[in-house]
Structure 1
Amino acid sequence: MSERTVITFGTFDVLHVGHVRLLARARALGSRLVVGVSSDQLNLQKKGRLPVFPQEERLEILASLGAVDEVFLEESLELKRAYVLNSGAAVLAMGDDWLGKFDELSDVCDVVYFERTPSISTTAIIEQILGDAD
């Protein structure tokens, strides 16, 4: 079987079962999974806050997972096409919170959107932890 690379992207802050399920589903689409981990600065631009865990730790956590073959730091949303091409990905897999946002990449790879795990959100987890600390 020839190698079929799948790529996905995310912040992967406060790793939870939703992340694990997304990574497992993405990995099942190919023989190799490459993960772009949003830089601290990119997360600040996207979400208006820094991640709980710094980028170096998030990269290390993702690299340690069995489903993940390679990680790299994603520094710009505008570079998605370059990241896909540089990785040799045949598939881009994303959560459906990004539905339609990367359809323009379908000329270089298959684009798949996975349904999010119901009632699981990093933001909600962080808010719950902060609320419990009060």
Structure 2
Amino acid sequence: MKKIITFGTFDVFHVGHINILERAKALGDYLIVGVSSDQLNFSKKQRYPIYCQDDRLKIISSLKFVDEVFVEESLDLKLEYIKKFNADILVMGDDWAGRFDWVKDECSVIYLPRTPSISTTQIIEIVRSK
């Protein structure tokens, strides 16, 4: 069984999230998703997510192509998560291209193109401006 692992905040859930998760699942048999904790998101973006971590976990857990979900507490623990879940492939959006090549001794790394013209940050900015 080929295990795929990916990570994200998945705040203000949109079609871009669905696209990357579906494409990640297509690469293997079992998809594991690390959802960034509220605290991790604040440390990355200097703001808390719109939806709390428990709601984001529930949204991702409800998707038919997601097999397992956990809370990602730190970007620095990627390798530990890969080992813990025995992942064969790490999938990330291409906005992270090259940033996780250092785990290639443990698993394959694939950077998938993001869905054009949509991002959570853009959605939040549009809503704020109205």
Range into which the TM-score falls when normalised by the shorter chain? over 0.9
Matched letter for residue 45 of structure 2: K
Q: Does residue 46 of structure 1 match 2:44?
A: yes
- Number of the residue aligned with 2:11: 13
**Secondary structure of residue in 1 paired with 2:48:** coil
Instruction: Give the superposition deviation at 1:130.
Output: 1.3
Q: Deviations over 1:104-130 (max 9, x none)?
A: 101010000001111111000011111
RMSD between aligned residues? 0.5
The TM-score with structure 1 as length reference comes to: 0.96
Match of 2:71 among 62, 73, 77: 73
Matched letter for residue 25 of structure 1: R
Q: Any unmatched runs of 5+ in structure 2?
A: none
Give the distance between the partners of 1:122 and 1:43, measured in 2 at CA: 13
The aligned runs of 1:23-102 (5 Å cut-off) are: 23-102=21-100
Matched letter for residue 70 of structure 1: E
Runs of 4 or more, structure 1, over 2 Å off, are: none
- Number of the residue aligned with 1:110: 108
State, as a whole percentage, how many aligned pairs show the same letter: 58
Q: Deviations over 1:11-62 (max 9, x none)?
A: 0000101100000000000000000000000000001100000000000110
The count of corresponding residues between Structure 1 and Structure 2 is 130
Instruction: Give the superposition deviation at 1:131.
Output: 1.2
Q: Any unmatched runs of 5+ in structure 1?
A: none
Q: Does residue 130 of structure 1 match 2:128?
A: yes
The TM-score with structure 2 as length reference comes to: 0.99
Give the distance between the partners of 1:50 and 1:83, measured in 2 at CA: 23
